[in-house]
Structure 1
Amino acid sequence: MAIILIVEDEMFIRQSAEWTMEDLGHTILLASDLASALLHLSGTKQIDALFVDIRLKTLTFGGYDVANQAIRLQPGLRVLYTSGSSLSAEMTELFVGGGQFIQKPYSPAQLEHSIGELFH
């Protein structure tokens, strides 16, 4: 199973994603902002995937900032983006790390499917 860093500023959504991914057998690391995400990413532990909200309130480019810095620290990282907004061409142009997307609200089954796709 994978080590997945979830970066989401809304506690309930972060917790729900954590529980779903833990039920799938993944090891989960949590962050609510860029600073706490960077602490995880700069550690010695290899992280397999980043699950990040595109619209983090404290950052100009939100989850894109997190993903870009994450890829610099851990180049093989896979990235699954999420947002309550519909996916647009402008959004996908900024994707890194394989750049897959799941729209909020998502069900546990949809999240499970997206995580599976991320690793295939």
Structure 2
Amino acid sequence: MAVILVVEDEMVIRLAAEWAIEDLGHTPLLADDLESALLHLSASQHIDMLFVDIRLGKLALGGYDVANQAIGIRPGLRVLYTSGSPLTADMSDLFVGGGQFIQKPYWPEQLELAVGKLLH
């Protein structure tokens, strides 16, 4: 069982990710912006993976900002990126932490496969 920090600014999508992660047997932590993500990352609780939306509205680089700061706080943290847009080379050039990607909307089986790749 892994602890996965989900950073998603759209509530419905964040809740869907929470349920999908719970159904896979993992523990989700939820954040809707950089500040709340940093609170989780700065706490003493163990976190295995960051699942972050690339296009977070209030940040210049969106989920990339979150991922870069997360890696700074917790080196070795694995990162799974998501977006409603297809993956491009420009997007993947900014990936850190293992840099896997899953496009929205995703099926639970796709999420399970992506999480498995990052954690093993």
* TM-score, structure 1 normalization: 0.97
Q: Which residue of 1 aligns with 2:6?
A: 6
1:65 shift after superposition: 0.2
Task: Describe the superposition over 1:69-115 as per-residue Cα deviations: whole angstroms up to 9, x where unpaired.
Answer: 00000001000000011111111110000000000111111111111
Q: Which residue of 2 aligns with 1:96?
A: 96
Root-mean-square deviation (Å): 0.7
Q: Which residue of 1 aligns with 2:108?
A: 108
Question: 1:75-94 to 2 correspondence within 5 Å?
Answer: 75-94=75-94
Secondary structure of 1:9's counterpart equals coil
Q: Give structure 1 stretches of 5+ with no counterpart.
A: none
CA distance in 2, matches of 1:22, 1:76: 23
Q: Give structure 2 stretches of 5+ with no counterpart.
A: none
Q: Which residue of 2 aligns with 1:69?
A: 69
Q: Which residue of 1 aligns with 2:53?
A: 53
Which runs of at least 4 in structure 1 moved beyond 4 Å after TM superposition?
Answer: none
Task: Describe the superposition over 1:31-82 as per-residue Cα deviations: whole angstroms up to 9, x where unpaired.
Answer: 0000000000000112100000000001010000000000000001000000
Secondary structure of 1:106's counterpart equals coil
Question: Taking every aligned residue pair, what percent have the same amino acid on both sides?
Answer: 72
Secondary structure of 1:30's counterpart equals strand
Secondary structure of 1:52's counterpart equals strand
CA distance in 2, matches of 1:3, 1:119: 11
* TM-score, structure 2 normalization: 0.97
Paired letter, 2:21: M
